[in-house]
Chains A and B, each alone.
Chain A
Amino acid sequence: MNNINLIYVPMNKLKTTTVGVYIHRELNKDDVSKNAILPYILKQGSSLAKTPEEFSKYLENLYGAALKAGVVKFGNDQVLRFEAETISDKYAPCGERLTNDLVRLILSVIFEPVTQDGGFLKSVVDIEKNNLKTRILSEMNDKRTYAMHRCIEEMCAGEAYAISANGTIDGIDKFDEKSLYDYYKEAIVSSVIDIYVCGDADTDSIRALIDDTVSGIDFKPAKITATELHTSDSDVKFTVDKMDVTQGKLSMGFRTGISPSDKDYFALMVFNSVFGAGAHSKLFNNVREKLSLAYYASSALVKPKGVMVVNAGIEFLNYQKAYDETLAQLEEIKSGNISDLEYNSSIQSIVNTLTSYSDLPEQLHNFMAGEKVYGTNYDIEHLKSEILKVTKDDICRVAQGIALDTVYFLKGKVEE
């Protein structure tokens, strides 16, 4: 037995084949930094390409195939993710079997790292520790995303989801090349590993490559960590950070009380679209177009946590105006003021996005991974048919249950 699931989605119209590997780990304080560094260390050397230079040359010889490593979170599930893409074999000028060569490299990166004296190479771990520190610290560089993350961090304080997928600075000093390798050995046999292949591939030969690589490994039972909804009965929390910035970033976190497996999940998606997801939405048309307060004003769902966050970039002095208008627009929906245009555009917009996944392999496997983690496993067609059934009354009902939870404001050190 092994924990590896191979999911093949034929997309013959494309000229490339994409491979997405998702290694599912539990998001928790003790392991987060180790999980966050592992993909980067694994990429630095494996049985097939022992040094970064060999690794790069290997990919260049596959017509510049790409292999990105990184880490993301879906609720309390922290995913070590590898995303690779090569031109499909039928476009290889000399008949090379590019997909197989790429899969071989990925498997060696995941299962056959370069080691020394029972650990990873110290030189590699030291460099990647520094790079991870830089990544954590540079979360503040993109103020728009940073403000949203800070809002969620304040909102979910004490819950696993408040932890950044990049890990923590403290956590980095708690392991070395040996203890990290011990952790890796345990993690690799006790994690659910999903491999998505989208494009034009020979699955039999990919499966054979996988079986060949893992035949000697003893896997342990593994499962994907569940995520709890964010709940709270305390008053609205307010947090302000100050930085040297010229534009303020307002981030408002709301509880929706709806999880992906809830029957109101579809209505929540449509609600979010009406409220703030796109140029048809209430936030765009009122905060931006009517009041000229912002260049962007939008809402987004953190689906597994039942959370919605509103983001806007505004003048510091317009804080109260933007805050009031956001809540006023929510009240509009609560009292049933949804125009036909807002309603139809929202449904169309979601259906359009879902339909477009069939051309976009990375988005598609990201979507499928999300559905798997949420435990819903909805396929695109089912989701579309449920979205089409949502009524204005459903949207209004969902809105009634939405409550402001946390307000975050990033402002300048000097008031204008």
Chain B
Amino acid sequence: MELLYKKSDATGEELYYGTHTSGLKIFIIPKKGYSNNYAIFGTRYGSVDSEFVVPGDKTVTKVPDGIAHYLEHKMFDQPDNSNVFDKFSKYGANANAFTSFNMTAYLFSATSNIEENVETLLDYVQSPYFTDETVSKEQGIIGQEIRMYADNGGWKVFFNLLNCLYHNHPVKKEIAGTVESISKITPELLYGCYNTFYNLSNMAIVIVGDVDPQKMVQTVCHNIKKSEPFSEDIKRVYAKDEPDTVVKPYIEQKLSVSTPLFMIGYKDTDTGYTGQKLLKKSIEIKILLQMLFGKSSAVYKQLYYSGLINQNFSTDYTMQPDYAFASIEGESKNPKEVYEAIKAQIERVQSEGLSEDDYNRIKKVLWGKHIRSQNDVDEIGTEFIQLQLMGIDYFDYYDVYSKITFDDVNNRFITFFENSRSALSVVNPVE
């Protein structure tokens, strides 16, 4: 395998990378002097992928909701009955895994025995083993995980918002599925999903730490099991025409929380990009969110001083090539008033325009954030693979960032912030 190299002049970060004949993309980010090493092995497969066409097939396969997450849990069962955690523990690693909307990832961090741990990581993720007995055992554990989230106000306020924003797109469904949907999961279904989405041509591995890149790549390549890359893409069947509109502007639920929690969302309808275009859009929107609602903004000051929000107030932008939304969340005794103030801020700026001073100041903030994210091996590794699986090269950041202009941000503001494409989700205390 040819090993390529690049270095960012702006940040000094280095990258060694290449694609194995199996299709697996390999990335090594050396961090001189670090004690911690981090490896993350991920597939572009998440909770939204419940309907798809297996390469070579003609028909759509439909599987129960929550299966990607279920599969993640079940990857820890091994054909020889050995315990994956035991192997990692033996080499002092902290292992974990997670499933998000668009990705399933297996990871560890360790301060020693990095090669042995990389071997373990590659080995178990390439060794599916599902039986009726092991699959049914997990119903209880995941059932408790689902219940834990059902009591979590922050989680519910988020998914309720997605159900306001999206008519059809599966991003609105809970990642773990429901107790009912997971009861239909069988070993056969798990193998079907595994053989489709865990094909190495749909996966990537990122290793960050004080490692020898050549040696590390050799370790990875030696531990790749025989695998033929797909010659065509996995077709993912998402919403049949997700409309630009929201489903409804308001939703509320009662849970045992002390203060109402709220989340306001703006649906992004300018979708369908990957690569630098997607990265550019995300930087523009993150600049806008800080300019409009950040701690130095007029609306923040107004809301904080009238006691309508407290220090738990933040904004975020979630993006994928085929869907995206901005969110503003916090706690408030009157979420509807906060929502009105947010909408009024948008209208005010629509008529008065953005401030270029604010733009220049906030653009610096984004640079600081990017540099700070490179401190931590976990953070850089996770961000790198997330972007990679949506077709973005993390090392393009400086190029894209430095070319963004005030005009770009202005244009983005005009197309993105449309109050009619927004919604408010509230979790109220039970009386």
Contacts and interface: CB of A to CB of B under 8 A. Distances in A.
B89 interface: yes
Nearest to B154: A141
A247 interface: yes
Contacts of A359: 34-36, 376-377
Interface residues of B, number: 68
Contact of B367 (A63, A141, A313): A63
Nearest to A352: B92
A338 interface: no
A345 to B, nearest CB: 3
Contact of B148 (A63, A65, A247, A349): A247
Interface in A1-35: 12-16
B368 A134 contact: no
B140 interface: yes
B39 to A, nearest CB: 14
Contacts of A341: 86, 89-90
A401 to B, nearest CB: 26
B295 A246 contact: no
B14 interface: no
A368 interface: no
Nearest to A280: B89
A333 B249 CA distance: 56
A157 interface: no
Given A138-B259, A314-B144, A352-B93, A127 B304 contact: yes
A345 B111 contact: no
Contacts of B376: 359-360
Interface string A274-299: 00001110001000110011111000
B92 A348 contact: yes
Contacts of A356: 35-36, 109, 111
A61 interface: yes
A61 B361 contact: yes
Nearest to A294: B144
Interface in A329-378: 341, 344-345, 348-349, 351-353, 355-356, 358-360
Contacts of B151: 143, 245-247
A52 B295 contact: yes
A61 B430 CA distance: 43
B5 interface: no
B361 A60 contact: yes
Interface string B26-58: 000001111110000000000000000000000
A328 interface: no
A45 to B, nearest CB: 12
A11 B110 CA distance: 19
B18 interface: no
A53 interface: yes
B91 to A, nearest CB: 7
B401 to A, nearest CB: 11
Interface centre among B34, B301, B361, B372 (most CB of A within 10 A): B372
B372 A16 contact: yes
Given A131-B311, A358-B35, A359-B36, A123 B258 contact: no
B153 interface: yes
A171 interface: no
Nearest to B93: A352
A288 B148 CA distance: 14
Contacts of A289: 141
A86 interface: yes
Interface in A43-71: 52-53, 56-57, 60-65
Interface in B302-320: 304-305, 307, 310-311
Interface string A287-327: 01100111110000000000000000111000000000000
A216 interface: no
Contact of A349 (B89, B296, B311): B89
A56 B111 contact: no
Contacts of B148: 144, 247, 295-296, 313
Interface string B81-99: 0000110111111110000
Contacts of A141: 153-154, 257-258, 261
Nearest to B367: A63
Nearest to A18: B375
Interface in A220-247: 243-247
A289 B35 CA distance: 31
Interface string B58-95: 00000000000000000000000000011011111111
Given A141-B258, A352-B112, 7 more contacts: A16-B372, A61-B364, A131-B311, A246-B147, A247-B144, A279-B88, A315-B144
23 contacts: A15-B11, A15-B372, A15-B375, A40-B311, A53-B296, A62-B368, A86-B368, A123-B305, A127-B304, A135-B310, A137-B259, A144-B148, A280-B85, A288-B141, A289-B141, A292-B138, A293-B144, A295-B145, A345-B90, A352-B111, A355-B36, A356-B35, A359-B36
> A-B pairs with the 5 shortest C-beta distances?
A63-B368, A64-B365, A292-B140, A345-B89, A348-B92
Interface of B: 11, 31-36, 85-86, 88-95, 109-112, 137-142, 144-145, 147-148, 150-154, 254-259, 261, 294-296, 301, 304-305, 307, 310-311, 331, 361-362, 364-369, 371-372, 374-377, 430
Interface of A: 12-16, 40, 52-53, 56-57, 60-65, 85-87, 91, 93, 123, 127, 130-131, 134-135, 137-144, 243-247, 278-280, 284, 288-289, 292-296, 313-315, 341, 344-345, 348-349, 351-353, 355-356, 358-360
